[in-house]
């Protein structure tokens, strides 16, 4: 009986392993790109569609093109459950042959940030992580394209002020945020903007254990009557907040979430009651984009996707996962061409990520027109500061509800410089890229 149980458990474990990892043809013919994923735990609902999108884009490249320039990508997930400790374990476990690390939480990013200087592995954290990572001179190994949390915060303020932040003078803006490094990330920018433009900034933290019972936070919102509520929520916090907003009768058109708070799965919990809720997003789902047709043809239709519901193919997070893998793939492609080699290593990929040129033409070639704004990176700018759009929940799906928005680049650059240098000073000796003259 015991032997049977052990065999069954081993079989199940192996089965699960092969479901998520993709087959490696031959180690020498592949580029190993691990993903520190979270398909389990309290934040799984957010992670699953993102990881599915990331995995399916790589799988499509492998099936359609035989990989990138003939080299297959070995996509491998290491499950963290969004736990910082497990994330660090996953980093250590995968780093020996990885060309990149995708830490998938601001907490994990902050932990592995100093390690990557030593291990010389680029961190790719698209749309998350530590906003000052944009400063490539200080954070040589960290990349967070196409937009940082500070970009998101700035675009939100631009949207609510119609581009004139001085009109916010005397107004009250609340930030409902997860009490976690991710949720606290935009606070320095909001504080700086509040000082500069004269609005009142009110941070309202939500503890991990209170994500599904935010009555105290929404009672505070009822009492304080902020003009706008901006949200930095993740996982179950989003549905909890929107439920309470409906209950409190807070006007949905004054409630805007960051891009991780714009998940179809969370909004389905409230359905019609969430109509009008908005989210800033650096990605837009485009159902008829050519890349989606290829993903359907090469991955979904043959039954190789892990998506439970085929309708999720048009969800915001699934398509954002695709864009995240596209950024990685473009970095690899650029490095291959620059170094004239097929099997790029981590240092070469660092160059690739530092020289991304995702312009309109390239976006069209990739079959992604309308899904992402053009951007480019450099040795000084590891973010690219692409713009974004406001997406609005119409009761059943998110749809674009604004023209393209851009962040206040000047204000952000000053803060990035200050905070990056503060970080380097606090963690000295910290290597600075003196060769970068931009």
Partner 1 sequence: MEFLNNVFVAPFQDMAAAPDFFMQVVWEGLVSGVLYALIALGFVLIYKSSRIFNFAQGIMVVFAALTLVGLHEMGVPALLAVPLTLGVMFLLAVAIERVVLRPLVNQPDIILFMATIGITLFLIGFGEMIFGGENKVMITEQLGIPTGSFEFEPFGGFLLIEQKDLTAVVGAGVLVLVLLLFLNRSKMGRAIRALGDDHQAALSVGISLSTIWVLVWFIAGIIALATGIVWGARAGVSFALEVIAYKALPVLMLGGLESVTGAIVGGLAIGVLEKLFEIYWGQPLLGGNTETWFAFVFALIVLLFRPQGLFGEKIIERV
Q: Which residues bind partner 1 (CB under 8 A)?
A: 12, 16, 39-45, 47-49, 179, 203-213, 215-217, 219-220, 222-223, 235-236, 239-240, 243, 247, 249, 265-266, 268-269, 271, 308
Question: Hey, how many other C-beta atoms are within 10 angstroms of the C-beta on 48?
Answer: 22
Lookup result for tokens 């950024």: 327
Tell me the closest approach of the beta carbon of residue 266 to partner 1, in angstroms. Answer: 6
Tell me the closest approach of the beta carbon of residue 70 to partner 1, in angstroms. Answer: 35
Instruction: Judge whether 350 and 122 are in contact, CB under 8 Å.
Output: yes
Q: Which is nearer to partner 1, 211 or 356 (CB)?
A: 211
Q: Which is nearer to partner 1, 263 or 385 (CB)?
A: 263
Contacts of residue 415, defined as CB under 8 A and 6 or more positions apart, other chains included, come to 132, 150, 188, 189, 192
What is the spatial distance between Cα 335 and Cα 351, in angstroms, rounded to a whole number? 6
Q: Which is nearer to partner 1, 220 or 343 (CB)?
A: 220
In the chain, what is the straight-line distance between the N-terminal and C-terminal CA atoms, in Å?
67
Tell me the closest approach of the beta carbon of residue 312 to partner 1, in angstroms. Answer: 9
Instruction: Judge whether 332 and 68 are in contact, CB under 8 Å.
Output: yes
What is the spatial distance between Cα 209 and Cα 129, in angstroms, rounded to a whole number? 22
Q: Which is nearer to partner 1, 51 or 68 (CB)?
A: 51
Tell me the closest approach of the beta carbon of residue 220 to partner 1, in angstroms. Answer: 5
What is the spatial distance between Cα 322 and Cα 362, in angstroms, rounded to a whole number? 15
Tell me the closest approach of the beta carbon of residue 431 to partner 1, in angstroms. Answer: 36
| Alpha helices by DSSP H, 204-315 | 215-224, 236-248, 264-268, 290-295
Instruction: Judge whether 152 and 406 are in contact, CB under 8 Å.
Output: no
Tell me the closest approach of the beta carbon of residue 175 to partner 1, in angstroms. Answer: 11
Q: Which is nearer to partner 1, 209 or 428 (CB)?
A: 209
Contacts of residue 167, defined as CB under 8 A and 6 or more positions apart, other chains included, come to 161
C-alpha R_g of the chain? 21
Q: Which is nearer to partner 1, 127 or 235 (CB)?
A: 235
Q: Which is nearer to partner 1, 216 or 399 (CB)?
A: 216
Tell me the closest approach of the beta carbon of residue 217 to partner 1, in angstroms. Answer: 7
Nearest alpha carbon to residue 388 among 152, 229, 187, 185: 152
């Amino acid at each position: 009986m015991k032997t049977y149980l052990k065999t069954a458990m081993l079989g199940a474990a192996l089965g699960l392993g092969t479901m998520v990892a993709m087959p490696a043809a031959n180690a020498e013919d592949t580029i190993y790109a691990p993903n520190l994923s979270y398909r389990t735990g309290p934040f799984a609902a957010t992670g699953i569609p993102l990881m599915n999108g990331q995995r399916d884009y790589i799988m499509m490249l492998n099936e359609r093109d035989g990989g990138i320039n003939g080299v297959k990508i070995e996509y491998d997930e290491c499950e963290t459950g969004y736990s910082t400790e497990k994330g660090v374990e996953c980093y250590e476990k995968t780093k020996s042959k990885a060309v990149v690390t995708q830490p998938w939480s601001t907490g994990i990013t902050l932990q592995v940030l100093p390690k990557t200087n030593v291990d010389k592995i680029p961190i790719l954290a698209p749309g998350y992580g530590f906003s000052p990572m944009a400063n490539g001179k200080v954070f040589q190994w960290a990349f967070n394209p196409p937009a940082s949390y500070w970009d998101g915060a700035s675009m939100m303020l631009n949207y609510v002020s119609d581009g004139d932040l001085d009109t916010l003078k005397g107004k009250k803006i609340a930030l409902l945020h997860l009490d976690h490094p991710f949720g606290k990330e935009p606070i320095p920018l909001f504080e700086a903007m509040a000082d500069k433009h004269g609005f009142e900034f009110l941070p309202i933290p939500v503890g991990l254990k209170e994500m599904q019972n935010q009555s105290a936070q929404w009672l505070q919102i009822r009492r304080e009557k902020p003009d706008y509520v901006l949200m930095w929520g993740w996982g179950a916090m989003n549905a909890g907040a929107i439920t309470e907003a409906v209950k409190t009768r807070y006007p949905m058109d004054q409630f805007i979430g960051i891009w991780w708070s714009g998940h179809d799965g969370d909004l389905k919990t409230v359905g019609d009651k969430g109509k009008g809720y908005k989210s800033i997003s650096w990605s837009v789902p485009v159902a008829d984009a050519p890349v989606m047709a290829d993903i359907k043809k090469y991955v979904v239709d043959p039954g190789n996707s892990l998506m439970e519901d085929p309708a999720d193919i048009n969800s915001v997070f699934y398509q954002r996962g695709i864009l995240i893998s596209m950024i990685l793939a473009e970095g690899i492609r650029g490095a291959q061409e620059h170094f004239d080699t097929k099997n790029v290593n981590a240092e070469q990929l660092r160059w690739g990520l530092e020289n991304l040129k995702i312009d309109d033409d390239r976006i069209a070639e990739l079959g992604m027109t309308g899904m992402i704004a053009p951007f480019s990176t450099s040795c000084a700018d590891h973010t690219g500061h692409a713009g974004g759009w406001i997406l609005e929940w119409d009761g059943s799906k998110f749809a674009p509800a604004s023209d393209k928005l851009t962040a206040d680049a000047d204000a952000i650059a000053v803060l990035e410089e200050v905070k990056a240098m503060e970080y380097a000073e606090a963690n000295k000796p910290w290597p600075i890229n003196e060769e970068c003259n931009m």
